[in-house]
């Protein structure tokens, strides 16, 4: 079974994000970039499926700028066998990414696609669902447990009311939640091996996909600063302030 794992290059989750002075976007100049944490979980899960003998090949895919090759090398250091980059400097929105991934799926014919439920930069939570719709495949989002047997995947997913277990016929799309697994530490020998693995580069034109943005960002602003809290002497004062100042009761 072939498993495809899309990964995204994002601002590292430890970095404090700064908004550009003209409010056109987030400042990424000289900022540490890394693999989207949810996608890292997806690569780990695909690698574990290969180690169990369920999957035979894991292919990592990324869409974006040339520097995304570094992210793909990280994916191969975790366990992906080879990688593909759809290189473009155009700002990619979820629908465009889903169309590019569909073209890659049509080319590679995987039986399973595992990707993060969302990226930590735009928090869109759309690409996996859009890809499933474009392909007409079954899908399970927010997966916290994945088991594959034959042509069936059993997925436990996190919902507002608790947990839900789905049975999917392959081929299928699965998006990962944080509690699915803990990605392994990437060792130096595996980083060196990843440099020798195959990495193919395409353009959207090669795949026949129009990635022109459909949405326009009008303004990006930081959230308002929170005011400092106060200490009240007793319950009566607390109730009075909640009623007259905060007006929440």
- 76: domain CATH number? 3.40.50.620
All residue ranges of the chain with pLDDT < 50 are none
pLDDT the model gives residue 40: 96
Residue 175 belongs to a domain: yes
pLDDT the model gives residue 200: 94
pLDDT the model gives residue 14: 87
pLDDT the model gives residue 37: 95
Instruction: State which residues form the domain around 174.
Output: 2-244
Domain count, the chain: 1
182-209 pLDDT, tens digit per residue, is 999 999 999 999 999 999 999 999 999 9
Residue 34 CA, distance from chain mean position? 12
Residue 249 belongs to a domain: no
Alpha helices in the chain (DSSP H): 37-51, 68-78, 94-108, 127-135, 188-194, 204-207, 235-244
pLDDT the model gives residue 8: 95
**pTM given for the model:** 0.84
Query: How far is the C-alpha of 69 from the C-alpha of 76, rounded, in Å?
Result: 10
Phi/psi at 143 (5° precision): -70, 130
Residue in this structure with the two tokens 């473009």, named with its chain if needed: 88
DSSP letter at 178?
Answer: G
Residue 68 belongs to a domain: yes
Task: Give Cβ neighbours of residue 211 (< 8 Å, ≥ 6 apart).
Answer: 88, 90, 92, 96, 99, 100, 204
Instruction: With CA atoms as reference, report the closest residue to 89 among 218, 212, 215, 217.
Output: 212
Task: Give Cβ neighbours of residue 95 (< 8 Å, ≥ 6 apart).
Answer: 126, 130, 214
């Amino acid at each position: 079974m072939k498993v495809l794992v899309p990964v995204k290059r994002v601002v590292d989750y430890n970095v404090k994000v700064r908004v550009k002075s003209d409010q056109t976007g987030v400042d990424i100049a000289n900022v540490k970039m890394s693999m989207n944490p949810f996608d890292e979980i997806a690569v780990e899960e695909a690698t574990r499926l290969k180690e169990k003998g369920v999957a035979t090949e894991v292919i990592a895919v990324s869409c974006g700028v040339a520097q995304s090759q570094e992210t793909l090398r990280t994916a191969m250091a975790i366990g992906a066998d080879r990688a593909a980059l759809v290189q473009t400097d155009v700002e990619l929105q979820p629908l465009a990414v889903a169309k590019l991934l569909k073209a890659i799926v049509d080319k590679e014919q995987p039986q399973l696609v595992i990707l993060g439920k969302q990226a930590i930069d735009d928090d869109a939570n759309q690409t996996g669902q859009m890809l499933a719709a474009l392909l007409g495949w079954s899908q399970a989002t927010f997966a916290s447990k994945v088991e594959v047997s034959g042509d069936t995947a059993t997925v436990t997913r996190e919902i507002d009311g608790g947990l839900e277990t789905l049975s999917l016929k392959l081929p299928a799309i699965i998006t990962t939640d944080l509690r699915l697994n803990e990605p392994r530490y990437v060792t130096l020998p595996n980083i060196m091996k990843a440099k020798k693995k195959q990495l193919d580069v395409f353009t959207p034109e090669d795949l026949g996909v129009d990635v022109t943005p459909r949405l326009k960002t009008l303004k990006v602003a930081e959230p308002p600063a929170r005011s400092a809290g106060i200490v009240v002497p007793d319950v009566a004062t607390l109730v009075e302030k909640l009623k007259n100042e905060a007006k929440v009761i």
